[in-house]
C-alpha cells in the first residue's frame, strides 16, 4: 500500500502517534472534555466510548493527558488500521505541526517558513488543518 508523502520517508515512523495532545469538545455523558483534568480511568473510558484507538500515557504541565495510539505497530511505527483510521488521523498533514519530525517551525517575525524547507502542504498550496481538532469533529455522530 502506497501511503505517500513524508510518512514513507520518515526518519522516526510513528513519532507523531506515540505522544500527542487531544483537545476537543464534549464527549462524556455530562459534557466532560478531554482537555479538562480527569482520572486515567475516565480519560481512557472517554476515548473508548468515542471509538478512538488512543490511550492516555501521562499528564502534561497543564495537568492534561498526553495520548498514544494503540493501533501503532511498535516494530515498524506504521498504522495497523490505516484504511479505517479515525478522522483525526485522516486529516493530519505530516510536516505541518510539531508532532512530525519533519516539521519546520515558522519564523517568529514573519510567520513564514524558510523557502528551503516549505512543508508539502504549502508546496501543494493546501490549507493547513488545525493541529488539535475538536473531538466532536472526529467522532462519528452515532457514538456521541
The Cα 126–Cα 21 span in angstroms is: 23
Has residue 143 been placed in a domain? no
pLDDT truncated to tens, each residue of the chain (144 aa)? 445 567 778 889 888 899 988 877 656 677 778 778 888 998 898 888 888 899 999 998 888 889 999 999 989 999 999 999 988 888 888 888 788 888 888 765 555 554 444 444 344 344 333 444 455 554 444 444
The Cα 140–Cα 135 span in angstroms is: 10
Longest dimension (CA), the chain: 48
Q: Which residues fall within 8 angstroms of residue 22, CB to CB, at 6 or more apart?
A: 34, 35, 47, 52, 54, 65, 67, 88, 132, 135
How many domains does one find in the chain? 1
Has residue 144 been placed in a domain? no
28 lies in which domain range? Answer: 5-138
The three grid cell numbers given for residue 41, joined into one nine-digit string: 480511568
The pLDDT of residue 143: 42
Has residue 32 been placed in a domain? yes
The Cα 138–Cα 87 span in angstroms is: 5
The pLDDT of residue 68: 93
Amino acid at each position: 500500500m502506497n501511503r505517500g508523502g513524508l510518512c514513507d520517508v520518515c526518519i522516526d515512523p510513528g513519532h507523531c502517534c506515540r505522544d500527542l495532545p487531544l483537545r476537543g469538545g464534549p464527549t462524556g455523558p455530562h459534557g466532560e472534555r478531554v482537555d479538562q483534568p480527569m482520572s486515567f480511568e475516565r480519560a481512557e473510558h472517554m476515548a473508548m466510548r468515542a471509538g478512538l484507538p488512543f490511550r492516555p500515557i501521562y499528564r502534561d504541565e497543564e495537568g492534561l493527558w498526553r495520548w498514544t495510539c494503540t493501533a501503532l505497530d511498535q516494530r515498524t511505527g506504521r498504522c495497523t488500521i490505516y484504511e479505517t483510521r479515525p478522522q483525526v488521523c485522516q486529516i493530519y498533514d505530516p510536516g505541518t505541526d510539531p508532532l512530525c519530525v519533519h516539521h519546520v517551525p515558522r519564523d517568529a517575525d514573519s510567520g513564514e517558513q524558510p523557502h528551503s524547507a516549505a512543508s508539502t502542504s504549502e508546496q501543494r498550496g493546501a490549507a493547513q488543518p488545525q493541529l488539535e481538532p475538536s473531538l466532536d469533529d472526529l467522532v462519528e455522530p452515532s457514538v456521541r
